Amino acid sequence: MWKNFLKGIIRENPVLVLLLGTCPTLAVTTSVANAFGMGAAATAVLLGSNIVISALRRMIPDKVRIPSYIVIIAGFVTVVEMVMHAFVPDLYEALGVFLSLIVVNCIILGRAEVYASKNRVLDSAVDALGMGVGFTLALFAMASIREIFGSGSWMGFEIPILSDFTIPILVNSPGGFFVFGILIAIVNAVTKRKTGRDFGCAGCPSAAVCGANDGSLQNAAHKDHAAGSGKGPDDTAEEGGK
Amino acid sequence: MKREATKSIVVLTGICLIVAVLLAAVNHVTAPIIEASAASGAQASLYVVLPNAAGFEEETPEGEVPQTVTGVFRDTGGSGYAVTLSATSSYSATPMTFTLGVGTDGKITGVEMTNYAESKDFGDYPSTYVGQDSALGGVDVYAGVTYSSQAFRGAVEDAFAVLVEMGGVAQGNKTDEQIIDELKIQLLPGARNRAGAPKLKEITVSDPSVQQAFAAENDVGYFYVMEADGETFAVAVSTTGGAVCMDLTGTDVTAQQEALVQRALELSDASAIHEKNQTAASRALPDGAQLTPISVSDQFGTVASIFTVSGGGDAAYAMVCSPYGYRSPMKLVFLLDNMGAISGLRVSGELIQDSDYYSNYTLDESAYIAGIIGLTGETADEDATLISGATMTADGVWTAMQDVFAAFKSLTTET
Amino acid sequence: MIRDLIVIIFTAMLVNNYVLVKFLGICPFLGVSKKLHSAVGMGLAVTFVMLLATAATWPIHTYLLTKFHLEYLQTIVFILIIAALVQLVEIILKRYLPALHRSLGIYLPLITTNCAVLGVAKNNITEGYELFIEAMANALGCGLGFLLAMVLFAGVRMRIETAKPPKCFEGMPITLISASIVALAFYGFAGVIDNMFM
């Protein structure tokens, strides 16, 4: 159980290891507060959808699996949206469109497909919490770097000295890509992971969902990174270099 | 197979319905809270711009209120007014809304943007307005977001107009520089571009009484800032021979400052412009037509040169205009008969500028001109000059046409 | 009118580029930009689906959801419409235009869960376009911006392939850092639109 929880935080961290959910990771990490808000919202949706999907896993016919998951996830996202709009309007404004885009966040649909649809409710809930916390921590780390060096503050509190020497580009879009790149490189170096790991459907659990293991796709455009597409995330982390 | 399909549809529909019902329930709970917080958010901005306010009471200003002003609130404690504004720039589809606080001394106490997608790009521009009075002497258009900052400034001006009209605050004093900028527009209207800005370039004139001299970029006239007896005057001279002088209170002193006006007229040598325009005008006329430049004393519009025509068929006068179109000034030659009706129009260069911008835009120019010929000051209306899709160009033609008719009227009454 | 539309298109394409400025659709941007021809295919497919999604979601939101005060169903309705549309287009392409299906169709299933498409549908509403044609212009601009970013980045990546960065930077990190430099280039467009259309 505890191991199940921890895997989402370290070994299978959705952002830094599985390279999922890059859009919100880059977009909302301009401040630590936003990152926390996003992480909490995604965790709530993940928890809710994992529990419901796991509970309904025997009822949902295979054919309408994906549409059903999407509806359930979209339902939870809308609930979270409305609750945040009502009780934390500032955060709601700051996250903007990315709040509703949790619907298409690969982490959520990926966990539903890979884990919740095959496991018991309790396990799915633990898995959701682990992944959610892992997502939140990754956002938190990234936002801390960007906010401290980009705005000279942390959680909105000004840091003396640093606030006089800010690097504003870090809180803009180029800085997002840059910090994320550096962060992954650090993770690579620390874990001594075999590098050369690439982005693409290989690391994305929704590859199976979105049709990436459809034969035509592999043969045509995805030839270059089709290796391992359709595999679950559990066995992709050590994909070999070229 | 069939049973499975039915089951799929039933389950999916069921899930959709349950989710929809749950959402409706949550919405029922949160909607009032969202509405309440939105309303208090609007109120909150009032306290941000007037921090010492005791409470706010909405005022209903008399008379016509500009569209940009969405609400005027008076501080019940008497520290001033808060005005909510909504300005739409031609750049963005969403209006920017903001709240402006004005103290009883007529100075801006605070600006709070309440909704503006590009507010990040706006930086601290709005805060440069704090401390300004209705003259807005110290703020410029913000480079990079020109349209938005123009709309912003316009809305602030509207807010002051309403407050001054209500008797809430006193009008601020303008600096000499601002007054001169306004006189440039007022005295030499023909030199304005479509955005209403005077397009003048500074020239050097060696005359001790002249502090600053400008020539209109479209060759319709000159503008001088002159000094006499320690007082500053603005003198505008049009290339058609008109001259007017005003002091900085906006009083016409042309008659009193005769020497100054005379000096300005001497400095304004437009013969080169007329020569150029004469060539342009002669292209609109049959060969052998004789053109003689003449002047009128009271025209400051877009007409740059007026010629009498002999041997040009119906045409008795030729007038060369340079109104601003979409971007740079156009050059239009209007021919008028003895009765003041347009007997010809020639466009030098292209009427629709930047034709690659309007890549699929085709204007049948000869048909367009045919629709204008025969019009007089009495019969002309704006529809004749309308070019759909090229409003700015059409506006320019219409302005020029009105100026031409005005010049003709002045010609016939003067002689 | 034409001018307004052109401003909308260019703003969406360059200044507010979905990928490089707004961070929407990063997954396909990083995943499918390795080869030029797949980048073009994906870009065109996304543009097409964005236009299609806008053509469906904008009227439904304006004439149905708003009218019956069902705005809270927006997310769920939009994602279902997009998913259904993508399925439908795939079936139609497969049946009637197999050649086009071979070149573009393979990207279509990837697009359902592409946040750029849902993002366009939602942004059309939040940005308050009052006319249908304005929303369509915005969708076109966003799609073209996506295509432009994909194509440019495909060119950059071909160079990276042959480069030899430090070991821990290989793969994703160096790709992200080059994306950062491309994004920096797009940053320069910020003031362009204003000055171009003065």
Give yes or no: residues B304 and B376 share one domain: yes
Say if residue B292 is in the same domain as residue B393. Answer: yes
Q: Is the pLDDT of residue A217 over 70?
A: no
pLDDT tens profile A32-69 = 988 999 999 999 999 999 999 999 888 888 888 888 88
Q: What is the CA radius of gyration of chain A?
A: 18
Q: What is the mean pLDDT of chain A?
A: 76
Do B241 and B280 fall within a single domain?
no
The CA R_g of chain B, rounded to the nearest whole Å, is: 29
In a domain, B409, yes or no: yes
Lowest mean pLDDT among A102-116, A203-217, B118-132: A203-217
Q: Highest-confidence range of A115-124, B158-167, B191-200, C64-73, by mean pLDDT?
A: A115-124
Please, what is the average pLDDT of chain C?
A: 84
B117 close to A (CB below 8 A): no
> Do residues B295 and B377 both lie within one domain?
yes
Domain boundary among B166, B192, B215: B166
Does residue B340 or residue B390 have the better pLDDT?
B340
- The pLDDT value given to residue A124: 92
Give B-chain residues touching A67 at CB under 8 angstroms.
Answer: 12
Question: What's the pLDDT at B351?
Answer: 60
CA-based nearest distance B93→chain C, Å: 6
Q: Which among C6, C73, C194 is the nearest to B23, CB-wise?
A: C73
Give me the number of domains chain B comprises: 3
Number of Cβ atoms within 10 Å of the Cβ of B232: 15
pLDDT for the residue B1: 60
Q: Pick the range with the lowest mean pLDDT from B60-64, B75-79, B135-139.
A: B135-139
ipTM: 0.86
Asked if A49 contacts A73 with a C-beta cutoff of 8 angstroms, the reply is yes
According to the model, what pLDDT value does residue B358 have?
A: 45
Instruction: Give tens-digit pLDDT for C7-30.
Output: 888 888 888 888 888 888 887 888
A110, closest residue in chain C (CA to CA): C113
For residue B386, the chain C residues in CB contact (below 8 A) are none
Helix (H, G, I), strand (E, B) or coil at C127: coil
Whether the CB-CB separation of B192 and B395 falls below 8 Å is answered with no
DSSP lists the bridge partners of residue A242 as none
Give which of B25, B115, B36, B110 is closest to B70, Cα–Cα: B115
Task: Decide if B95 contacts B86 (C-beta within 8 A).
Answer: yes
Query: What integer pLDDT is reported at residue B68 of this predicted model?
Result: 83
Angle in degrees, CA B142, B147, B150, rounded to 5: 65
Q: Do A79 and B7 touch (CB under 8 A)?
A: no
Of C73, C127, C195, the CB nearest to B94: C127
Of B19, B26, B33, the CB nearest to A72: B19
Q: What are the two backbone dihedrals, phi and then psi, of residue A71, each rounded to the nearest 5 degrees?
A: -65, -45
- Using the predicted structure, report yes or no on whether residue A185 has a pLDDT greater than 70: yes
Q: With 80 as the cut, is the pLDDT of residue B408 above it?
A: yes
Which of B100, B135, B166 is the endpoint of a domain?
A: B166
Q: Which chain A residues touch B37 with a CB distance below 8 Å?
A: 86, 89
Chains that touch A (3 or more CB pairs under 8 A): B, C
C192 touches chain A (CB under 8 A): no
- Crossing angle (nearest 10°) for helices A121-150 and A173-191: 120
Low-confidence ranges of chain C (pLDDT < 70): 105-106, 110, 190-198
CB pairs under 8 A between B and C: 44
Q: What is the pLDDT of residue B92?
A: 53
For C105, the token pair is 């169709």
pLDDT of residue B270: 82
Nearest to A173 among C23, C42, C166 (CB): C23
Would you state the structure tokens that stand for residue B363, as one six-digit string?
């204007």
What is the rounded (10 degree) CA torsion for B273, B275, B276, B279? Answer: 150
Among A106-110, B125-129, B217-221, C102-106, the minimum mean pLDDT is found in: C102-106
Neighbours of chain C (3+ CB pairs under 8 A): A, B
Model confidence at A205: pLDDT above 60 = no
Domain that holds residue B133: 56-166
Q: Are A209 and A111 in contact (CB under 8 A)?
A: no
User: Is position B33 within any domain?
Assistant: no
Closest to B8 (Cβ–Cβ): which among A61, A74, A86? A61
Q: Is residue B129 located within the same domain as residue B85?
A: yes
Residues in chain B with CB shorter than 8 Å from the CB of C11 are: 91
Q: Is the CA virtual torsion B395, B397, B398, B402 positive or negative?
A: positive
What is the reported pLDDT for C65?
Answer: 86
Closest among B52, B102, B44, B48 to B72, alpha carbons compared: B102
Candidates B147, B326, B354, B395, partner chain C, best to mutate (most C CBs within 10 A): B147
Q: Which of B267, B288, B321 lies at the terminal end of a domain, its last residue? A: B267
The answer to whether residue B5 is domain-embedded is no
Asked if B401 and B375 count as a contact pair (C-beta separation under 8 A), the reply is: yes
Reported confidence tier of residue B89, pLDDT bands at 50, 70, 90? low
Instruction: Give the pLDDT band (50/70/90) at residue B42.
Output: low
The pLDDT value given to residue B142: 65
Contact criterion met (CB below 8 Å) for B119 and B95: no
Residue B144: CB atoms within 10 A of its CB come to 17
Please answer yes or no on whether A89 and B37 come within 8 Å at the CB atom. yes
Say if C35 is an interface residue toward chain A (CB within 8 Å).
Answer: yes
Q: Which chain C residues contact residue B24 at CB under 8 A?
A: 72
CB–CB of A198 and C173 under 8 A? no
- pLDDT for the residue B56: 81
Chain B CB contacts of A71 under 8 Å are 12, 15-16, 19
CA closest to C190 among chain B residues: B144
Question: Which residues of chain A are within 8 Å of residue C187 when distances are taken between CB atoms?
Answer: 172-174
| Cβ–Cβ below 8 Å for B145 and C4 | no
B261 and B193 assigned to the same domain: yes
Q: What digits encode the pLDDT tens for the residues A70-100?
A: 889 999 999 999 998 888 888 888 888 888 8
Same domain (yes/no): B302, B392: yes
Greater pLDDT, B82 or A201:
B82
* Rounded-to-integer distance, Cα C31 and Cα A240, Å: 17
Q: How many percent of chain A have pLDDT more than 90?
A: 25
DSSP, collapsed to helix, strand or coil, labels residue B391 as helix
Order of strands, sheet of B56-59, starting from the edge strand that comes earlier in the sequence = B56-59, B69-75, B80-87, B96-103, B108-115
Same domain? B319 vs B387: yes
The model's pLDDT over A128-182, given as tens digits with 9 standing for 90+, comes to: 999 999 999 999 999 999 988 888 888 877 777 777 777 888 888 888 999 999 9
By DSSP bridging, strand B317-321 and strand B243-247 are unpaired
Task: Output the average pLDDT for chain B.
Answer: 80
Distance of alpha carbon C8 from alpha carbon B91, whole angstroms: 8
- In this structure, are B63 and B156 located in the same domain? yes
The verdict on B180 and B260 lying in the same domain is yes
* Cβ count within 10 A of residue A11: 14
B86 found inside a domain: yes
Structural domain contains residue B336: yes
In a domain, B18, yes or no: no
Residue B350 in domain: yes
Chain B residues with beta carbon closer than 8 angstroms to that of C129: 93
Helix (H, G, I), strand (E, B) or coil at C43: helix
Whether B204 maps to a domain, the answer reads: yes
pLDDT value for A44:
94
Instruction: Kindly tell me if the per-residue pLDDT of A230 is higher than 60.
Output: no
Q: Name the B residues in 12-51 with CB < 8 Å from any A CB.
A: 12, 15-16, 19, 22-23, 26-27, 29-31, 33-34, 37-38, 41
Chain B: partners with 3+ C-beta pairs within 8 Å: A, C
Residue in the structure block whose two tokens are 């682990």: A130
The answer to whether residues B221 and B277 belong to one domain is: no
Mean pLDDT of B194-219: 83
What is the rounded CA–CA span in Å between residue C50 and residue A180? 27
pLDDT at position A188 is 82
Cβ–Cβ < 8 Å for A226, A214: no
Q: What are phi and psi of A225, to 5 degrees?
A: -140, 35
Domain identity same for B388 and B280: yes
Q: Which of A77, A105, A173 lies nearest to residue C21, judging by beta carbons?
A: A173
Report the alpha-carbon distance of residue B245 to residue B267 in Å, rounded. Answer: 14
Phi, psi angle pair for B228, to nearest 5°? -145, 130
